[in-house]
Amino acid sequence: MEQIILLCLVSACLSSVQTQKYLFSPSWGPIGYKDRDEHRDGTVMDEIIKTNEFQASRILDGTTSLREGDIAVSAGRRSKVCFARSCLWSKSVDGNVYIAYKLSPEYSEAEKSVIKKGMENIEKGTCVQFVPWTHQQDYIDIQPKSGCWSYLGSRGGRQTLSLQNPDCLQTGVISHEFMHALGFVHEQSRFDRDNYVTIMWPNIWRDRVRNFEKFRTDSLGLPYDYSSIMHFGMYAYSQDGEATIVPKSGKDVKLGQASTLSHIDRMKINKLYKCGDEDDY
Protein backbone atom coordinates (compact mmCIF):
# COMPACT_ATOMS: atom_id res chain seq x y z
CA MET A 1 0.00 0.00 0.00
CA GLU A 2 2.83 2.40 0.90
CA GLN A 3 4.49 1.68 -2.44
CA ILE A 4 1.26 2.53 -4.31
CA ILE A 5 0.92 5.83 -2.43
CA LEU A 6 4.57 6.68 -3.17
CA LEU A 7 4.10 5.96 -6.87
CA CYS A 8 1.01 8.19 -6.95
CA LEU A 9 2.91 11.05 -5.32
CA VAL A 10 5.81 10.74 -7.78
CA SER A 11 3.35 10.67 -10.70
CA ALA A 12 1.57 13.77 -9.39
CA CYS A 13 4.87 15.65 -9.02
CA LEU A 14 5.98 14.75 -12.54
CA SER A 15 2.60 15.85 -13.90
CA SER A 16 2.94 19.18 -12.11
CA VAL A 17 6.43 19.72 -13.52
CA GLN A 18 5.24 18.96 -17.06
CA THR A 19 2.29 21.34 -16.63
CA GLN A 20 4.63 24.11 -15.51
CA LYS A 21 6.94 23.47 -18.44
CA TYR A 22 3.96 23.79 -20.80
CA LEU A 23 2.43 26.88 -19.23
CA PHE A 24 5.69 28.78 -19.08
CA SER A 25 7.23 27.50 -22.28
CA PRO A 26 8.19 30.24 -24.77
CA SER A 27 6.25 28.31 -27.40
CA TRP A 28 2.99 28.92 -25.55
CA GLY A 29 1.00 32.10 -25.87
CA PRO A 30 1.80 35.38 -27.59
CA ILE A 31 5.31 36.73 -28.22
CA GLY A 32 6.73 38.05 -25.33
CA TYR A 33 10.15 37.23 -24.74
CA LYS A 34 11.04 34.50 -27.22
CA ASP A 35 10.92 36.58 -30.38
CA ARG A 36 12.47 39.65 -28.87
CA ASP A 37 15.71 37.84 -28.15
CA GLU A 38 15.63 36.01 -31.46
CA HIS A 39 15.02 39.10 -33.58
CA ARG A 40 16.76 41.64 -31.33
CA ASP A 41 13.80 43.95 -31.83
CA GLY A 42 12.78 44.63 -28.24
CA THR A 43 10.29 47.40 -27.61
CA VAL A 44 8.47 48.85 -24.64
CA MET A 45 5.33 46.99 -25.66
CA ASP A 46 7.20 43.68 -25.78
CA GLU A 47 8.04 44.14 -22.09
CA ILE A 48 4.45 45.06 -21.27
CA ILE A 49 3.07 42.06 -23.14
CA LYS A 50 5.43 39.71 -21.35
CA THR A 51 4.37 41.02 -17.96
CA ASN A 52 0.65 41.37 -18.60
CA GLU A 53 0.15 38.06 -20.39
CA PHE A 54 2.08 35.86 -18.00
CA GLN A 55 1.70 37.62 -14.68
CA ALA A 56 -1.38 39.81 -14.81
CA SER A 57 -4.97 38.79 -15.32
CA ARG A 58 -6.79 40.20 -18.33
CA ILE A 59 -9.66 40.93 -15.94
CA LEU A 60 -8.31 43.25 -13.27
CA ASP A 61 -11.40 42.98 -11.09
CA GLY A 62 -15.09 42.41 -11.51
CA THR A 63 -15.68 45.52 -13.61
CA THR A 64 -12.33 46.38 -15.22
CA SER A 65 -10.47 44.65 -18.06
CA LEU A 66 -7.51 45.38 -20.34
CA ARG A 67 -7.91 46.53 -23.91
CA GLU A 68 -5.08 46.56 -26.47
CA GLY A 69 -2.99 44.76 -23.87
CA ASP A 70 -2.53 47.53 -21.29
CA ILE A 71 -5.40 50.06 -21.40
CA ALA A 72 -7.79 49.64 -18.47
CA VAL A 73 -11.48 49.87 -19.38
CA SER A 74 -14.29 49.83 -16.83
CA ALA A 75 -17.75 48.48 -17.47
CA GLY A 76 -20.98 50.04 -16.25
CA ARG A 77 -22.75 53.35 -16.58
CA ARG A 78 -20.09 55.28 -14.69
CA SER A 79 -17.27 54.20 -16.99
CA LYS A 80 -15.57 56.83 -19.09
CA VAL A 81 -14.16 55.67 -22.42
CA CYS A 82 -11.94 57.93 -24.49
CA PHE A 83 -11.03 55.76 -27.49
CA ALA A 84 -12.90 57.97 -29.93
CA ARG A 85 -12.19 61.30 -28.25
CA SER A 86 -9.74 62.85 -25.86
CA CYS A 87 -10.27 63.22 -22.13
CA LEU A 88 -7.78 65.94 -21.38
CA TRP A 89 -6.18 67.04 -18.15
CA SER A 90 -6.79 70.65 -17.19
CA LYS A 91 -4.40 73.28 -18.45
CA SER A 92 -3.10 75.94 -16.08
CA VAL A 93 -3.24 79.67 -16.78
CA ASP A 94 0.55 79.64 -17.19
CA GLY A 95 0.24 77.31 -20.19
CA ASN A 96 1.45 74.15 -18.48
CA VAL A 97 -0.50 70.98 -17.74
CA TYR A 98 0.14 69.99 -14.14
CA ILE A 99 -0.76 66.39 -13.37
CA ALA A 100 -0.76 65.38 -9.73
CA TYR A 101 0.47 61.92 -8.79
CA LYS A 102 0.65 59.83 -5.65
CA LEU A 103 3.23 57.05 -5.24
CA SER A 104 2.42 53.93 -3.27
CA PRO A 105 4.50 53.53 -0.09
CA GLU A 106 5.10 49.94 -1.24
CA TYR A 107 7.73 51.21 -3.68
CA SER A 108 11.31 51.48 -2.46
CA GLU A 109 13.19 54.75 -2.84
CA ALA A 110 15.13 53.29 -5.77
CA GLU A 111 11.87 52.25 -7.45
CA LYS A 112 10.35 55.69 -6.90
CA SER A 113 13.40 57.21 -8.55
CA VAL A 114 12.90 55.07 -11.67
CA ILE A 115 9.23 56.04 -11.86
CA LYS A 116 10.14 59.72 -11.67
CA LYS A 117 12.62 59.24 -14.53
CA GLY A 118 9.79 57.82 -16.61
CA MET A 119 7.74 60.94 -15.88
CA GLU A 120 10.71 63.21 -16.65
CA ASN A 121 10.94 61.46 -20.01
CA ILE A 122 7.51 62.93 -20.84
CA GLU A 123 8.17 66.34 -19.29
CA LYS A 124 11.24 66.94 -21.47
CA GLY A 125 10.27 69.17 -24.36
CA THR A 126 6.56 69.30 -23.48
CA CYS A 127 4.27 71.44 -21.34
CA VAL A 128 3.29 68.48 -19.12
CA GLN A 129 4.58 68.60 -15.55
CA PHE A 130 4.02 65.92 -12.92
CA VAL A 131 3.65 67.22 -9.37
CA PRO A 132 3.26 65.33 -6.08
CA TRP A 133 -0.36 65.11 -4.97
CA THR A 134 -1.38 67.39 -2.11
CA HIS A 135 -5.07 68.29 -2.38
CA GLN A 136 -5.87 68.09 -6.11
CA GLN A 137 -9.21 66.51 -6.97
CA ASP A 138 -7.89 64.79 -10.09
CA TYR A 139 -4.72 62.76 -9.73
CA ILE A 140 -2.93 59.55 -10.73
CA ASP A 141 -2.51 56.95 -8.00
CA ILE A 142 0.55 54.85 -8.96
CA GLN A 143 0.32 51.36 -7.49
CA PRO A 144 2.37 48.13 -7.82
CA LYS A 145 -0.68 46.11 -8.82
CA SER A 146 -0.64 43.13 -11.18
CA GLY A 147 0.82 44.19 -14.52
CA CYS A 148 1.58 47.43 -16.37
CA TRP A 149 -1.56 49.37 -17.29
CA SER A 150 -3.34 52.71 -17.24
CA TYR A 151 -6.74 54.20 -17.93
CA LEU A 152 -7.01 56.36 -21.03
CA GLY A 153 -6.95 60.10 -20.48
CA SER A 154 -8.27 61.91 -17.43
CA ARG A 155 -11.20 60.13 -15.77
CA GLY A 156 -11.80 62.64 -13.01
CA GLY A 157 -10.92 62.07 -9.36
CA ARG A 158 -8.40 59.42 -8.34
CA GLN A 159 -7.35 57.06 -11.12
CA THR A 160 -5.03 54.10 -10.80
CA LEU A 161 -1.94 53.51 -12.92
CA SER A 162 -0.33 50.13 -12.27
CA LEU A 163 3.42 49.59 -12.40
CA GLN A 164 4.09 46.13 -11.05
CA ASN A 165 7.48 45.87 -9.41
CA PRO A 166 10.01 45.02 -10.61
CA ASP A 167 8.70 43.99 -14.07
CA CYS A 168 7.18 47.32 -15.12
CA LEU A 169 9.83 49.55 -13.58
CA GLN A 170 11.64 50.45 -16.78
CA THR A 171 11.80 54.04 -18.01
CA GLY A 172 10.19 53.31 -21.37
CA VAL A 173 7.38 51.21 -19.90
CA ILE A 174 6.59 53.90 -17.35
CA SER A 175 6.53 56.63 -20.02
CA HIS A 176 4.29 54.47 -22.22
CA GLU A 177 1.69 54.08 -19.46
CA PHE A 178 1.74 57.80 -18.70
CA MET A 179 1.17 58.48 -22.41
CA HIS A 180 -2.03 56.44 -22.08
CA ALA A 181 -2.95 58.51 -19.03
CA LEU A 182 -2.47 61.64 -21.14
CA GLY A 183 -4.99 60.30 -23.64
CA PHE A 184 -2.96 58.49 -26.33
CA VAL A 185 -3.77 55.06 -27.75
CA HIS A 186 -1.27 52.84 -29.54
CA GLU A 187 0.04 54.24 -32.81
CA GLN A 188 -1.02 51.27 -34.95
CA SER A 189 -4.60 51.82 -33.71
CA ARG A 190 -4.84 54.92 -35.91
CA PHE A 191 -7.67 54.69 -38.40
CA ASP A 192 -5.26 55.31 -41.31
CA ARG A 193 -2.71 52.72 -40.20
CA ASP A 194 -3.36 50.41 -43.16
CA ASN A 195 -1.65 52.99 -45.37
CA TYR A 196 1.56 52.45 -43.44
CA VAL A 197 1.63 48.93 -42.04
CA THR A 198 0.22 45.52 -42.91
CA ILE A 199 -1.32 43.52 -40.07
CA MET A 200 -0.45 39.85 -40.55
CA TRP A 201 -3.66 38.44 -39.09
CA PRO A 202 -2.79 34.72 -39.47
CA ASN A 203 0.33 35.19 -37.33
CA ILE A 204 -1.48 36.75 -34.36
CA TRP A 205 -2.34 34.64 -31.34
CA ARG A 206 -6.05 34.08 -31.97
CA ASP A 207 -7.24 35.26 -28.55
CA ARG A 208 -5.46 38.63 -28.99
CA VAL A 209 -6.68 39.62 -32.45
CA ARG A 210 -8.85 42.30 -30.89
CA ASN A 211 -5.71 44.11 -29.72
CA PHE A 212 -5.14 45.13 -33.35
CA GLU A 213 -8.40 47.00 -33.88
CA LYS A 214 -8.47 50.50 -35.36
CA PHE A 215 -10.13 53.52 -33.76
CA ARG A 216 -11.25 56.85 -35.14
CA THR A 217 -8.79 58.83 -33.08
CA ASP A 218 -7.47 62.29 -33.93
CA SER A 219 -4.06 62.03 -35.62
CA LEU A 220 -3.58 65.75 -34.90
CA GLY A 221 -2.40 66.27 -38.47
CA LEU A 222 0.92 64.61 -37.65
CA PRO A 223 2.58 61.88 -39.73
CA TYR A 224 2.37 58.20 -38.88
CA ASP A 225 5.15 57.48 -36.41
CA TYR A 226 6.81 54.09 -36.84
CA SER A 227 9.21 54.89 -33.99
CA SER A 228 6.58 56.04 -31.48
CA ILE A 229 6.88 54.72 -27.95
CA MET A 230 3.20 53.88 -28.40
CA HIS A 231 3.76 51.55 -31.38
CA PHE A 232 3.57 47.76 -31.04
CA GLY A 233 6.73 45.90 -31.98
CA MET A 234 6.94 43.92 -35.20
CA TYR A 235 6.35 40.60 -33.42
CA ALA A 236 3.71 41.66 -30.90
CA TYR A 237 1.38 38.78 -29.98
CA SER A 238 2.98 36.45 -32.52
CA GLN A 239 1.85 32.84 -32.18
CA ASP A 240 4.57 31.37 -34.37
CA GLY A 241 7.53 33.76 -34.23
CA GLU A 242 6.55 35.43 -37.50
CA ALA A 243 5.95 39.18 -37.81
CA THR A 244 2.48 40.45 -36.95
CA ILE A 245 3.05 44.04 -38.16
CA VAL A 246 5.02 44.77 -41.32
CA PRO A 247 5.90 48.36 -42.36
CA LYS A 248 4.91 49.18 -45.93
CA SER A 249 7.84 51.55 -46.29
CA GLY A 250 10.47 48.82 -46.10
CA LYS A 251 11.90 46.01 -44.00
CA ASP A 252 14.58 48.21 -42.46
CA VAL A 253 12.02 50.31 -40.57
CA LYS A 254 12.05 49.58 -36.84
CA LEU A 255 8.74 49.71 -35.03
CA GLY A 256 8.40 51.13 -31.53
CA GLN A 257 10.90 52.27 -28.94
CA ALA A 258 12.85 50.61 -26.18
CA SER A 259 13.16 53.48 -23.74
CA THR A 260 12.26 57.00 -24.86
CA LEU A 261 9.66 59.12 -26.62
CA SER A 262 10.13 59.88 -30.29
CA HIS A 263 10.25 63.45 -31.58
CA ILE A 264 6.71 63.08 -32.93
CA ASP A 265 5.49 61.72 -29.56
CA ARG A 266 6.52 65.02 -27.98
CA MET A 267 4.89 66.95 -30.80
CA LYS A 268 1.67 65.00 -30.19
CA ILE A 269 1.61 65.99 -26.53
CA ASN A 270 2.18 69.66 -27.28
CA LYS A 271 -0.35 69.75 -30.08
CA LEU A 272 -3.06 67.86 -28.17
CA TYR A 273 -2.66 70.18 -25.19
CA LYS A 274 -2.07 73.27 -27.35
CA CYS A 275 1.32 74.09 -25.86
CA GLY A 276 3.94 76.43 -27.25
CA ASP A 277 3.99 77.99 -30.69
CA GLU A 278 2.82 76.47 -33.96
CA ASP A 279 6.50 76.36 -35.00
CA ASP A 280 7.10 73.85 -32.20
CA TYR A 281 4.86 71.30 -33.89
| Active-site residue set | 177
Handedness of CA 247, 253, 254, 260 (dihedral sign): negative
What length does the chain have? 281
To the question of whether residue 39 is assigned a binding role by annotation, the answer is no
To the question of whether residue 180 is assigned a binding role by annotation, the answer is yes
To the question of whether residue 186 is assigned a binding role by annotation, the answer is yes
Handedness of CA 11, 15, 16, 18 (dihedral sign): positive
Q: What is the DSSP string of the chain?
A: -HHHHHHHHHHHHHHHHHHHHHHT-TTSSS-SHHHHHHHT---HHHHHHHHHHHTS-SB-SSSEEEETTTEEEE-STT----SSS--PPPPPTTS-EEEEEEE-TTS-HHHHHHHHHHHHHHHTTSSEEEEE-SS-SSEEEEE--SSEEEESS--SSEEEEEE-TTTT-SHHHHHHHHHHHHT---GGGBTTGGGTEEE-GGGB-GGGGGGG--B----TTPPP-TT-TTSPPTTTTBSSSS-SEEETT-TTPPPS-SSS--HHHHHHHHHHTT-S-GGG-
State the virtual CA torsion across 193, 194, 197, 203 in degrees, nearest 10.
Answer: 110
Amino acid at 92: S
Question: Binding site: what residues are annotated?
Answer: 176, 180, 186
Known binding site for Zn(2+): residues? 176, 180, 186
